[in-house]
Structure 1
Amino acid sequence: MGVWRIDADVLAGSRFVVSPMVETIGCLAALNGLHRVSASQREWLAEYGPQFRARWAADAFALPFLRDAIRPGWLADFLVKPPHGGAPRFAAELERVAATTDEQARRDILEAMDRPLAPVLHEDGLVARAVELLDWVWRHAVRPGWPRRRRVFEADIVARTERLGSGGWAAVLDGMRPGMRWLGDGRLQINAYDYPPRDLTGTRLLFAPTTSQRGWVSWEEGVDLHAIVYPCTGWLAQDPDVVPPGALARLIGPARARILTLLGAPKSTTQLVALTGQTLGSTGGHLRVLRDAGLADRRRAGRSVLYYRTDLGDALCRDQAPR
């Protein structure tokens, strides 16, 4: 199995990032049709899959490239370089992909591949055409919904950070992505493949959420940087732009109605801030009103305080739901 050895200094210096390129690669893998898709990607695929096929199905480069560079359970390394910076921009991340030579890209694609490279990938301009494809997917299929995705990712990061405070790194890392387990004693199983252990001492470690079902791991030797891309799953993957029923919004106000709708699963104040974009003070004020009205309550979970709907709040949301 693939094991990373991670000491306390690496964990202490690690951080979560939201990367537009990570999400674009995950979406491109879903559009490719050879990677399993998550539940949150299926609705998106129904909308953007036809557009993607209309633009790229007849392209002489795109389909051979996708078949060879984004294979089931595998992604070419030059496409998945770890993010740089705390809030990377897509244009900057795309420039890093564009800096790859065609020769290096071919070596990355051929790694662990049991068939010859598609002839079109031997032509000059391989990386430039890959960059064109990535840029199209970002601009046409990911960027239109990026604010919503970013809020979901930020809420996921908040939840995991709170879990870190209450349960330590073992609670955060164990099961972060399929096949990943915290083994203890500074050992992290990242997958079930038979790879030699990697010692991360002295390197930086990043965690980046994606809507992909499995995520991936990557590293960049020259800058001693490793990344774990993990699926943003569970109740945080719900649509933060969900619109509460109009009657409920008129009854208690749109901001409170939205918070009450989101409390179908327990959430902390900071998670609600990330999902709604409201200030901490406003969110706290709305929660107090909902508690005073008997529509919401709170309980402690470790070091976190989670808010949830009461039976009355559930009944109100259920009764106002469209039929």
Structure 2
Amino acid sequence: MITIELGLDDLAATSFAFSALMETGMSLRMWTHASAYAEHIPLFNRMRPAFERLDTELITSLVGSWRWIPDFLTPRPTTPWPDFQRELAALRATAPETVWTELERTFLPIEGAVPRRLAGAREDPERLLAEIADTLEAYWETCLLPEWWPRAKSLLEADIVYRARVLAERGAATLFQELSNRLSWDGRRLVIRWEGEPMPAAPTYDVDAAGQGLLLIPTCFSHGALSVITPVGPPWIAYQARGVATLAERVEPPPPGPALERLLGPPRARLLLMLEEPVSTTELARLLRVTPGAVSQHLKVLSDAGLTSRARHGRSVLYVRSPLGDSLAGLSHSGAPRGQALNGEVLDER
């Protein structure tokens, strides 16, 4: 059980961010415990040829049998817009004396020993840290960056916009309740409990935020709230982002109904139906297999008509239907389920 004491100033300073490096580190679980993250399997199967050209022994050694990974692979994000290379530079600058300590904390409670492939860190932590950083960089560039990260980034951005709205409109108690059933909040203490999971040597500690605020981090590789193995620095909690199950799907909304199509035209009608959740222009273009410029033109028309709203996360702008847009979307009565498989239709570039 982890207990975080939060004062009013900490609640006021609650913020959201996500991390490219954290997602990279957490994604290593896919290569050792894929069945726990079945929604990712189709995409990761496509990565496998590139993955197998890497130092797979090193990568898989970083994940314990209980899916734990060393804390230095998941540093607390420092900005709301992740930059993998900047985060990797911070990883390379990890104090050598902490590498072996964190490896022991990760593996000794359950495995009883640090894996052979990582044991060299006892005598030469700097060398192992450089090997890990080099391998993660290659893994990022050849496996995650080309296809997986653009989808994941859009999903994580949309989650933050949604959660920030919940916090603003319904308060911290509702936010924490929706994040994970592991979390409980009594107005002063936020508790992560492991009940219901046979987790040996689960982290147990108390931490006082002491005016440092709380950082909430959506991730694609968690089934409940989690934090660091031992309390280090300002508190953060990672939680499963909404919509992770859609990452491997190629989906679009059902075709618009005749009334909505006649009113807006087929391209804009289909686009409006895609804006039930916040989404970026880049992600819309990927889903519809057109250029971002084509999407932007249609979004401008919808925005000028008051049918969409915009929300910013870092450098990204996400679009979502306005209340008027929701009303118009109700004109679509095709009967097809939302999110049906792509059928070859594309958004008109004109």
Pair 1:133-2:135 in alignment = yes
Alignment match, 1:28: 28
Instruction: Note closer, same or farther for the CA distance 1:244–1:188 as it changes in structure 2 (3 Å cut).
Output: closer
Structure 1 pair 298–258 and aligned structure 2 pair: CA distance change class (3 A): closer
Please give the per-residue CA displacement for 1:182-203, whole angstroms capped at 9, x wherever unaligned: x212111123246132111221
CA distance in 2, matches of 1:34, 1:316: 32
Q: Structure 2 vs 1, CA of residues 101 and 242 (structure 1 numbering), >3 Å: closer, same or farther? A: same
Asked if 1:143 corresponds to 2:145, the answer is yes
Find the partner of 1:86 among 72, 77, 80: 80
Partner of 2:162: 159
Instruction: Assess if the C-alpha contact under 8 Å between 1:27 and 1:212 holds in 2.
Output: yes
Aligned to 2:303: 284
CA contact 1:62–1:133 (8 Å) conserved in 2: yes
1:74 and 2:68 aligned: yes
Residue aligning to 2:180: 177
1:53 counterpart residue number: 52
Shift in CA distance, 169/282, structure 1 to aligned 2, threshold 3 Å: farther
Q: TM-score, normalised by structure 2?
A: 0.70
RMSD, aligned α-carbons:
3.9
Q: In structure 2, what is the equivalent of residue 293 of structure 1?
A: none
Instruction: Give the equivalent residue in structure 2 for 1:292.
Output: none
1:167-316 alignment to 2 at 5 Å? 167-177=170-180, 179-181=182-184, 183-192=185-194, 193=202, 195-214=204-223, 216-218=226-228, 224-234=233-243, 237=246, 242=251, 252-260=265-273, 262=274, 266-267=276-277, 271-272=278-279, 276=284, 281-285=300-304, 288=307, 309-310=329-330, 312-315=332-335
Report the equivalent of 2:101. Answer: 107
- In structure 1, what is the equivalent of residue 318 of structure 2? none
Post-superposition offset of 1:287: 7.1
User: Separation in 1 of the partners of 2:322 and 2:52?
Assistant: 48
In structure 2, the CA distance between the partners of 1:247 and 1:310, relative to structure 1 (3 Å rule), is closer
Identity of aligned residues (%): 21
User: Does the 8 A contact of 2:217 with 2:237 survive in 1?
Assistant: yes
Give the secondary-structure state (helix, strand or coil) at the position aligned to 1:228: strand
Classify 1:158/1:320 alpha carbon distance in 2 versus 1 (closer, same or farther; 3 Å). Answer: closer
Conservation of the 8 A alpha-carbon contact between 2:4 and 2:235: no
Deviations 1:137-168 (A, max 9, x none): 21122211333322221111111111112210
Structure 2 residue matching 1:188: 3-state secondary structure? strand
> CA offsets, 1:98-120, max 9 Å, x none?
11244421211111344222333
- CA offsets per residue over residues 57-90 of structure 1, 9 Å max, x none? 4x4x444x324xx442422111111011232311
In structure 1, the partner of 2:199 is none
Letter in 1 for 2:211: G
Paired letter, 1:322: N
CA contact (8 A) 1:153 1:209 kept: yes
Q: What 5-or-longer segments of structure 2 have no aligned partner?
A: 195-201, 285-291, 309-320, 345-350
Number of residue pairs matched? 298
Structure 1 residues 199-208 or 213-222, which shifts more?
213-222
Letter in 2 for 1:212: F
**Is contact 2:218–2:239 with CA below 8 Å preserved after alignment?**
yes
Deviation of 1:221 after TM superposition, in Å, equals 7.0
The separation in 2 between residues aligned to 1:240 and 1:213, in whole angstroms, is: 19
Deviations 1:164-218 (A, max 9, x none): 122101111124135223x212111123246132111221322221211336313
Contact 1:35-1:71 within 8 A present in 2 as well: no
Contact 1:207 1:228 in 2 (8 A): yes
- Asked if the contact 2:6–2:190 (Cα under 8 Å) also holds between the matched residues in 1, the reply is yes
Report the CA distance shift for 1:167/1:107 in structure 2 as closer, same or farther (over 3 A).
Answer: same
What is the alpha-carbon distance in structure 2 between the residues aligned to residue 287 and residue 15 of structure 1? 29
TM-score for the superposition, normalised by structure 1: 0.75
Q: CA distance change for structure 1 residues 132 and 71 in 2, over 3 Å: closer, same or farther?
A: farther
Aligned to 2:9: 9
Shift of 1:321: 6.7
Distance 1:140 1:320, change over 3 A: closer
* Aligned partner letter, 1:10: D
